[in-house]
C-alpha cells in the first residue's frame, strides 16, 4: 500500500526519482526487521491465546510479535511525510489507523503494535538520515 501511495504522490507532484525510492526502501527494511523478529520471538496471536477473541479477518499464520503492518505503516507514513510534507497529516493518520486496526481486528496485542511502530519509526529515521 505504501509503495503505491509513493508512486501516486510521485506522479502527482513530479519530484525527483530518488524521492520515490525512499519510502520503498524504508518499508522494505521495516518489514524485513519485523519478520525477522517474529521468527525470533514466536509469540502466539491473541485469538490463539484467548479463544474468546474472534478475529475479524482471515487469521494470519505468522507470529504475533511485532506487528509487521504497524512497522510498515510507521515507516511508510513517516518517510512519505518527509518527502511530501503537504500530505503529511493524511499519511500519519493513515499509519495510525493501520496500526490501531491490528488490535481492533483481533490479530495483535497492543504491545505488538507498539513494537512495530518503534521498528518502523527507527527505520524511517535511519533511511531519511542517509537518503539523498
Sequence spans of domains, the chain: 2-7+17-130
The CA distance from 16 to 131, in Å, is 12
Side-chain half-sphere CA neighbours of 38 within 13 A: 22
- pLDDT on residue 33: 94
Q: What is the mean pLDDT of residues 21-26?
A: 82
Asked if residue 2 has pLDDT above 80, the reply is no
Joined together, the cell numbers standing for residue 10 give 510521485
> For residue 48, what pLDDT band results from cuts at 50, 70 and 90?
confident
The hierarchical CATH code for the domain 2-7+17-130 is: 1.20.144.10
CB of 102 closer than 8 Å to CB of 113:
yes
The CA distance from 89 to 116, in Å, is 20
Give the chain's largest Cα–Cα span.
50
Query: Between residues 51 and 127, which one has the greater pLDDT?
Result: 127
CA angle 113, 99, 61 (to 5 degrees): 65
CB of 90 closer than 8 Å to CB of 77:
no
CB of 63 closer than 8 Å to CB of 38:
yes
> For residue 15, what pLDDT band results from cuts at 50, 70 and 90?
low
Amino acid at each position: 500500500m505504501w509503495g503505491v501511495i509513493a508512486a501516486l504522490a510521485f506522479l502527482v507532484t513530479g519530484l525527483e526519482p530518488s524521492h520515490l525510492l525512499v519510502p520503498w526502501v524504508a518499508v522494505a527494511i521495516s518489514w524485513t526487521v519485523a519478520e525477522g523478529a517474529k521468527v525470533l520471538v514466536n509469540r502466539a496471536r491473541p485469538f490463539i491465546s484467548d479463544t474468546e477473541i474472534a478475529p475479524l479477518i482471515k487469521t494470519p499464520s505468522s507470529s504475533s510479535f511485532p506487528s509487521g503492518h504497524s512497522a510498515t505503516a510507521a515507516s511508510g507514513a513517516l518517510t512519505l511525510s518527509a518527502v511530501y510534507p503537504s500530505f503529511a497529516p493524511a499519511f500519519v493518520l493513515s499509519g495510525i489507523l493501520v496500526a490501531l486496526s491490528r488490535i481492533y481486528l483481533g490479530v495483535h496485542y497492543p504491545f505488538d503494535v507498539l513494537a512495530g511502530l518503534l521498528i518502523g519509526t527507527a527505520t524511517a529515521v535511519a533511511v531519511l538520515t542517509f537518503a539523498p
